[in-house]
Amino acid sequence: MGLHHRLAVHETMMIQELLLGKSLNLWKYKRALHEIHDEQLKELIAEQIPIEKEDMWDLVTLLQRRPLLLPSDYISKGSEYGK
């Protein structure tokens, strides 16, 4: 697997932040379903739940398929950074 197929640390952190946001949204949507009385709004929120779940699975899959790019992968031992 070449370096272009790996995730850099900042990319991994971004995916983790996106997952956190999606999980918070999912929690809020599920909680809101019990508190909202307007049927149209309830339907709109209910439609978002499977979308958030699918997005989360896509992000988890991306994390699982792409190993983390470590500094040792791109810093040669002879460079000033590898000393």
Angle 39-65/9-35 helices, nearest 10 degrees? Answer: 160
Rounded CA-CA distance 60/30 in Å is 21
Tell me if 70 sits within 8 A of 81, measured CB to CB. no
Residue-by-residue pLDDT tens, the chain, 83 positions: 444 577 777 888 899 999 999 999 999 999 999 999 999 999 999 999 999 999 999 999 988 877 766 666 666 555 554 44
Q: Is 7 helix (H, G, I), strand (E, B) or coil?
A: strand
The reply to whether the predicted model has a pTM over 0.75 is: no
Could you tell me how many residues make up the chain?
A: 83
